[in-house]
A and B are shown apart, each in its own frame.
Chain A
């Protein structure tokens, strides 16, 4: 199984809502990533988990809260978002040795009203 899955595919939320994005991989990878991608821009790294520990936080606002419950799952908890946070949120996973090739999930299209 060489797939990264993400749910939901689409999410519309108000600025006062709390929601969560979920990501799952069954490739035995021990690094997982959250990226944010705006239209016609490359993905921007938000967080990196390595062996279920947060390794990188790219100065992301606290309204985004990541969680890695186990080696296969990655969540992104959202609270009090702003309209400018509307974007495609991508999850990826990779090995922590060797080539470090990152494989992306299909993404969650988030709209904040």
Chain B
């Protein structure tokens, strides 16, 4: 089982629709959860972070975390063509050395928003 799994997609939604991206993780001691957006040829850009169970909203983005189910999701409301990118789920936990945090990425979901 991969440490962090995402629905691989690709995912296509029409402009104005809600895009739903899902992620599960295997390590119960994971403490911090992130969503990154990566445009083709660019570096990952942090768009959401979530640390406790429930929903966190930031503009058109809502992150949801359920630690009991080991599940993280990202909803993008009123999707725009400019949202077309690969979305990476990332999970952070203390490294075995105990002196740093380690970030593990899912394989990413490619989202296309159709005009």
Tell me the bound Cα distance from A100 to B51 in angstroms: 10
Q: How many residues of B contact A (CB 8 A)?
A: 25
Are B42's CB and A106's CB within 8 A? yes
Number of A residues contacting the other chain (C-beta, 8 Å)?
A: 24
Bitwise, B42-75 to A at CB < 8 A (1) or not (0) is 1111100101000000000000000000000000
B46: which A residues are within 8 A, CB to CB? 101-104
A55-B97, A56-B102, A94-B101 known; A42-B88 Cβ under 8 A:
yes
Distance in angstroms from A37 CB to nearest chain B CB is 8
Q: Which residues of B contact A (CB under 8 A)?
A: 32, 34, 36, 42-46, 49, 51, 88, 90, 92, 95, 97, 99-108
* Additional pairs, 20, CB under 8 Å, beyond known A96-B101, A101-B32: A33-B103, A41-B107, A43-B88, A43-B105, A45-B103, A45-B104, A48-B102, A53-B99, A56-B102, A88-B43, A90-B44, A99-B32, A99-B51, A100-B101, A100-B103, A102-B90, A102-B103, A104-B43, A106-B42, A107-B43
